[in-house]
């Protein structure tokens, strides 16, 4: 028999703070966070070079020295992983994205700087895609009509992955959405002896309107010709996301990502329930900017919104969240 009112009063366990804490179903900690960081050229004294990003208030690009300092900060806060994204200078971009294969590019230098600063105390996730390196802003090689070539791009992504692995990356994260690239990258990593290097696949990455500030941050927004709808997913599709995840897992992904985050929580929970694998969500630049805009307008409390949204990701089954609010969230969680 099921109890009913007044024998059952659900408000009983909500009456006091200690009781709410005791009955709380979801707990979020700094260990659930991945902090995305943008790397830029330059080297200043002491704190290095910092370039604030106008469309991402409170977020900056950092030179390699600054990235090393952020790594020390993350370790102190209990954040277990950093995600790196380079802002490649225009003179180093070309239609083929050759700078992605340079062992001394921004990404590789930043990885080595983190290793020098904190050793193995923190994980380093490196983005695998060509948009930070191409002069046309697309995630891959293009033909004369501007169509992104799948197989030719995947070959370059393999070289990019091996380059980042040699620099000391812990997680390779292909964000390009080319078909078959996870299997090719996994095979190449195995052949090169990188048996324990993880692949976190951007398996369900949507052609979203929420990416604008990120493209400003990596310097591709003014370069992009056309859109990315021929390879990123249609926001209307859910079943297709499950097919993408199934393929990437079969090809050797250790974990998968849903991107963007909050508008696609339904996808995250369906992936978790279907596959029972580690699922991560990326609370993308547009989501971050919306929270900051609400705070600036006096319409919201930043701390409360940040913690509530992160709780939503955990409630949906995510193992962790990539968020630009990671250092703030960690400080709040640490009291």
Give the whole-angstrom CA distance, residue 80 versus residue 31.
Answer: 6
- Cα angle: 228, vertex 231, 233; to 5 degrees: 90
**Which is the catalytic residue, given 65, 228, 259, 272?**
259
Give the whole-angstrom CA distance, residue 259 versus residue 286.
Answer: 11
The answer to whether 244 is annotated as binding is yes
Nearest to 69 by CA among 49, 42, 89: 49
Residue 6: is the preceding peptide bond cis (ω within 30°)?
Answer: yes
**Which is the catalytic residue, given 205, 228, 272, 314?**
205
User: Which H or E run includes 250?
Assistant: helix 239-251
Q: How far apart are the first and last CA of the chain?
A: 43
Pairing verdict, β 33-39 and 60-62 = parallel
Nearest to 134 by CA among 37, 38, 215, 39: 215
Give the whole-angstrom CA distance, residue 279 versus residue 272.
Answer: 6
Does the annotation count 205 as an active-site position? yes
Q: Helix 302-315 vs helix 265-275: angle between axes, to the nearest 10 degrees?
A: 30
Binding site membership: which residues? 244
Binding site membership for Mg(2+): which residues? 244
Catalytic residues, by residue number, are 205, 259
């Amino acid at each position: 028999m099921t109890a009913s009112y007044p024998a059952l009063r659900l408000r009983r366990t909500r009456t006091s703070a200690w009781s709410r804490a005791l009955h709380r179903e979801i707990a979020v900690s700094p260990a659930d966070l991945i902090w995305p960081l943008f790397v830029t050229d330059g080297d200043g004294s002491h704190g290095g070079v910092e370039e604030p990003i106008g469309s991402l208030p409170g977020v900056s690009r950092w030179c390699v020295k600054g990235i090393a300092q952020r790594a020390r900060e993350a370790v102190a806060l209990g954040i277990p992983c950093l995600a790196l994204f380079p802002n490649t200078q225009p003179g180093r971009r070309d239609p083929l994205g050759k700078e992605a294969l340079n062992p001394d590019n921004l990404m590789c230098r930043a990885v080595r700087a983190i290793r020098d600063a904190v050793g193995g105390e923190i994980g380093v996730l490196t983005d695998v895609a060509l948009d930070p390196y191409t002069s046309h802003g697309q995630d891959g090689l293009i033909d004369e009509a501007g169509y992104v070539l799948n197989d030719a791009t995947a070959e370059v992504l393999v070289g990019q992955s091996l380059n980042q692995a040699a620099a000391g990356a812990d997680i390779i994260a292909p964000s390009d959405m080319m078909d078959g690239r996870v299997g090719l990258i996994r095979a190449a990593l195995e052949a090169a002896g990188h048996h324990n290097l993880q692949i976190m696949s951007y398996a369900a990455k949507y052609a979203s309107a929420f990416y604008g500030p990120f493209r400003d941050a990596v310097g591709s927004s003014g370069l992009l010709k056309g859109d990315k709808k021929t390879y990123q997913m249609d926001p209307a599709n859910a079943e297709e996301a499950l097919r993408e995840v199934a393929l990437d897992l079969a090809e050797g992904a250790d974990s998968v990502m849903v991107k963007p985050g909050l508008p696609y929580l339904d996808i995250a929970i369906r992936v978790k329930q279907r596959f029972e694998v580690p699922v991560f969500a990326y609370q993308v630049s547009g989501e971050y900017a919306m929270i900051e805009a609400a705070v600036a307008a006096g319409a919201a409390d930043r701390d409360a919104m940040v913690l509530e949204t992160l709780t939503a990701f955990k409630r949906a089954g995510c193992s962790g969240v990539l968020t630009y609010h990671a250092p703030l969230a960690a400080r709040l969680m640490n009291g």
